[in-house]
Amino acid sequence: MPEAFLQIEDLGINLSGNSIINQMNFTIKKNTLTTFLGPSGSGKTTVLRAIAGLNTQVAGAIRLDGEEIHALPANQRNIGMVFQSYALFPNMTIFDNVAYGLRVQKKPAAEIEQAVMEMLETVSLAKKKDAYPDQLSGGQKQRVAIARAMVLQPKLLLLDEPLSALDAKIRVKLREQIRKYQQKLGITMLFVTHDQAEAMAISDDIIVMNDGQVQQQGSPMDIYANPANLFMAQFIGNHNLLTGAELRQLGFQSARGTAVHDAAHYIIRPELFCPTASTTETSVPITGKITSRAVLGDRIQYRFKTAAGLKLKVELLNQEEPLPMDSDVTLYVQERTIQKVGATNA
Ligand SMILES: Nc1ncnc2c1ncn2[C@@H]1O[C@H](COP(=O)(O)OP(=O)(O)OP(=O)(O)O)[C@@H](O)[C@H]1O
C-alpha cells in the first residue's frame, strides 16, 4: 500500500460543547486529488479547518508527510487554502495578490517575479497581471486565488467549495482546470464539495461523510459501483434501491451468482435496463407500464410501474422509438448487474 501522505487518526472535534467529529480515521495519498463529499452539516468544513490549523482544539493525530502537525499554528503547516469567497486583496493588483505570500517569506524580487508570472501563465491570467480583482469575473478571481495558494508550493492544498459561487458552465470549466493544475504541478489537493457530479468528475478518491463519520472512501467508480451501506446507496447516484424480498418478487433468485436474501438491500441502476433479453447472460424479464417519460437529450428517463406495483426508474439511450406510455412493456435486467449494498466484492 502506498504510504499515507496525510493521515487522520482518531480525530475528535467538539464545538460549543457538542461532539461534531468522533474518532475519524482516513488517509490520503501524495499527488492525488481527494474530495470530501457529503450533505450539508456532515462535518466537511470542520475537518478541513482542523487540518488547516484554523481549529487546534482537536483530539487525535493529524500527520502530514510524516510530521505531526495538529499542535502547530496554521502558518507553520505548509498548507494552502482556497475558499468559496476568493478572499483576494481588493486594493492590490493581480500580480501583487499572487506575490503576497512570497513577499512575506522575503524571497528575492527576481525569484518572485518569475514564480508569479509562471503561475499566472498556468492559470491563463498573465495578461491581467496589472488589473484589480473587481475588474475580473468570478471564475477569473477564483483562478487568482488558486494561483496565490499554489505559488507557495504547499504540501497540501485545501479547497473549500471553491466553485459554489460560480454559474454552472464556469464551474465545469474551472473544475477541469483545477484537475489539470493538480496533475501538472503534482499538488496534493483536498477538495470539499456537496456536488456529487463534481466529486465524480475530478477525484482520484472520494471520502463520503455523513453525521461526522466517514461512510466510505474509494475511487469514483468504487463508490458508485459498490456502496458500502444504506446511506451510500441512497446518497450516490440515481439508483433503484430494493429489499431482497422485492427483488425476488421481480423474479431474481440470485444477484451476481449469490442467493438473494430477503432482508438485504440491492440496487438496480436505471441505465442497466434493456429493451431486449441478452443472448449470452441470464436476464430477467420485468413487465409493467411506463407512467412517465422525460427526454434528457442523449437519454430518456422513464418511470416504470411493475405489475406488482413496484415503481422503478429506468434510463435508456435515446436511439430508438421511445417506449409507449400506459401499455404493457417488458424490460430485461441481467442478473450479474444487480448490486448488493455493503458487498465488498466488485
Ligand atoms: N462553531 C460551531 N459551534 C457549534 N457547532 C458547529 C459550529 N460550526 C459547525 N457546527 C456544527 O458542526 C456540524 C458540521 O458542520 P460543517 O460546517 O463542518 O458541515 P459541512 O459538511 O461543511 O456543511 P456545509 O456543506 O453546509 O458547509 C454541523 O452540525 C454544524 O451545525
Distance of CA 163 to the CA centre of its chain: 13
DSSP per-residue string spanning 217-244: EE-HHHHHH---SHHHHHHSSSPEEEEH
The confidence score (pLDDT) of residue 148 equals 95
Q: Could you tell me whether strands 273-274 and 328-334 are parallel, antiparallel, or unpaired per DSSP bridges?
A: antiparallel
Task: Tell me if 239 sits within 8 A of 211, measured CB to CB.
Answer: no
| 57 CB near ligand 1 (under 6 Å) | no
> How far apart are the C-alpha atoms of 2 and 80, rounded to whole Å?
23
| 208 CB near ligand 1 (under 6 Å) | no
Residue 251 Cα to ligand 1 middle (Å): 45
Residue 44 Cα to ligand 1 middle (Å): 8
ipTM: 0.92
Residue 59 Cα to ligand 1 middle (Å): 17
Supply φ then ψ for residue 255, to 5 degrees: -130, 120
Q: How many CB atoms lie within 10 A of CB 88?
A: 20
Residue from 44, 211, 235 whose mutation best tests the ligand 1 pocket (most atoms within 8 A of CB): 44
Task: Tell me the average confidence (pLDDT) per consecutive run of 10 residues in the chain, 346 residues long.
Answer: 84 91 95 95 93 90 94 91 90 97 95 95 94 94 93 94 87 91 92 93 95 94 90 87 94 90 92 88 92 92 93 91 89 92 66
The confidence score (pLDDT) of residue 101 equals 94
Task: Tell me if 11 sits within 8 A of 70, measured CB to CB.
Answer: no
Residue 193 Cα to ligand 1 middle (Å): 14
| 43 CB near ligand 1 (under 6 Å) | yes
pTM value is: 0.86
Residue from 18, 46, 192, 208 whose mutation best tests the ligand 1 pocket (most atoms within 8 A of CB): 46
Residue 85 Cα to ligand 1 middle (Å): 17
Question: And the C-alpha cell for 1?
Answer: 500500500
Q: Which atom of ligand 1 is nearest to the CA of 17?
A: 4
Coil vs helix vs strand at 7:
strand
Residue 212 Cα to ligand 1 middle (Å): 9
Q: Which atom of ligand 1 is nearest to the CA of 212?
A: 14
